[in-house]
Amino acid sequence: MVAVTSTPLIAELDDVVKVGSPARRAHILKQVMDLLRVDADRLDETRTRIFDQVLVLLIEGADAPTLAELSVMLSEIELAPSETVRQLAFHHDARVAAPVLTKSNRLSEKQLIEIANTLGQQHLLAISARPALSEALTDALMRRGDFNVSNALARNGGAHFSECGYATLVGRAERDENLIERLGVRLDIPAKLLRELLDMATDAVRARFLTAKRPVPQEKARTPARVVPPAPIDYTQATSAVVALNRVGKLGDQAVNRFAVRNDYVSVVAALSFMTEVKIEAIEPLMKSDRLYGLIVACKAARLDWSTTTQIIRNRPGCPPLTKPEFERGLEIFDALLLSVAQWTIRFGSVSIAAEKDRAKAAVA
Residue-wise burial string across 84-97, b where 16 or more C-beta atoms lie within 10 A, e elsewhere: bbbbbbbbebbebb
Q: What is the mean pLDDT of the chain?
A: 83
| Short-list 272, 276, 282, CA closest to 312 | 272
The DSSP secondary structure of 87-111, one letter per residue, reads HHHT-SSHHHHHHHHHH-TTS-HHH
In degrees and rounded to multiples of 5, residue 133 shows phi and psi of -135, 130
The pLDDT tens digits for 226-283 are 445 567 889 999 999 999 999 999 999 999 999 999 999 999 999 999 999 998 988 9
For residues 46 and 82, is the Cβ–Cβ distance under 8 A?
no
pLDDT at 178: 86
Averaged pLDDT, 146-164 = 93
Q: How many residues does the chain have?
A: 365
Higher pLDDT, 179 or 203: 179
Cα–Cα distance for residue pair 50/9, rounded to 1 Å = 13
For residues 101 and 123, is the Cβ–Cβ distance under 8 A?
yes
Residue 7 has pLDDT above 60, yes or no: no
Cα–Cα distance for residue pair 231/165, rounded to 1 Å = 43
In degrees and rounded to multiples of 5, residue 159 shows phi and psi of -90, 135
- Of 136-140, 188-192, 264-268, 332-336, give the lowest mean pLDDT range: 188-192
Cα–Cα distance for residue pair 260/129, rounded to 1 Å = 40
Distances (CA, A) of 153 to 103, 157, 219, 339, 359: 15, 8, 16, 33, 29
Residue 364 has pLDDT above 60, yes or no: no
Name every residue whose Cβ is closer than 8 Å to that of residue 285 and which is 6 or more positions away in sequence: 210, 211, 294, 353
| Short-list 275, 308, 272, CA closest to 287 | 272
